[in-house]
Amino acid sequence: MKLPGLAVKGTKIVDASGEVVQLRGISTLGFRYPEYITEASFKTLRDEWGINVIRLAMYTDEPGGYCTDGDREELKKIMIRGVELATELSMYVIVDWHILFDKSPMVYKDEAIRFFDEMASRFKDHTNVIYEICNEPQESPFASIIRPYSLEVIPVIRKYDKDAIIIVGTDNWSQDVDDVIGQEIDDPNVMYALHFYAATHQEKLLSKAQTAIDSGIPVFISECSICDASGDGRIDREWGKKWIDFADEHDISYIVWNLSNKDESSSILKSDTSSLSDWKDDEYSETGLWFKQRISAAKQKQ
């Protein structure tokens, strides 16, 4: 079934009939665990969790990264396979240019332009594809770095797809979403990323998120977890609940980090879980089980 295209209306995502849509999904841990980018894994998350979107996070600057020493053709094959699998399963999918260690999106801007030109050309007829053009900028003020970068990359996508939702990262690991106020990009289907890790990001960041929403900024939580900002460490269920309640209250879409069995708190699977799909509850980590219960309960209410 071909999914309806989505659009941004005010601060919310809507479908073709104008009904509000809240996306809830899971992000890959880069492409370090390609064994989970399969029909069976995605189908389990869709059917047992109730997720409706997969985020394909492709690191740009790390050992094996797209812009460093990685095999670009192989990484593109993984991205394409992930998009096609999500499409076949009637799920939305995010093509994520996952900058992190490179800090500024300008470092590999030319590579980003070429990558998104190729991806948007390939997926121009896919109504389920969302583009995230800079994951977590740092030391990159929105007005002077992120916005100019976006004004070069977005037109490349728009050559082929005039309607796809595009997510733009914000400074300070996609926390300074309020910096967008007064600097919005003149494109009706652009949203702005906010990332939270509940054991670290609490009142201050929630206040920034509320300020952005109150100012009409369309926020997309393209990465989150209930552990600390390292992706590991302690879990804070209380603040996790506050954040997800906030997202639900404002119909903000959110993506859980991450789909792997890496031995850290943010992985949704325990490190000794060997199966790649059809997971039992005792194979999930504390984080994985918490989000599974929360997302599946929200799905049942719909």
Residues classed as catalytic: 136, 223
Separation of alpha carbons 55 and 132, rounded Å: 9
Element (H, E) at 214: helix 203-214
Backbone angles phi, psi at 86, to 5 degrees: -60, -40
Q: What angle do CA 257, 84, 112 make, to 5 degrees?
A: 65
Separation of alpha carbons 124 and 141, rounded Å: 31
Which is nearest to 259 in space by CA: 219, 231, 301? Answer: 231
Q: Is the CB of residue 190 less than 8 Å from the CB of residue 251?
A: no
Cβ within 8 Å of residue 178, ≥6 positions away: 208, 209, 211, 212, 215, 217
What's the gap between Cα 48 and its chain centre? 20
User: Helices 203-214 and 237-249, interaxial angle, to 10°?
Assistant: 0
Cβ within 8 Å of residue 82, ≥6 positions away: 28, 37, 54, 56, 93
Separation of alpha carbons 159 and 35, rounded Å: 33
3-class SS of residue 92: strand
Cβ within 8 Å of residue 301, ≥6 positions away: none
Mind giving me the DSSP string for 18-87?
A: S-EE--EEEEESTTS-GGGSSHHHHHHIIIII---EEEEEEESSSTT-TTTTS-HHHHHHHHHHHHHHHH
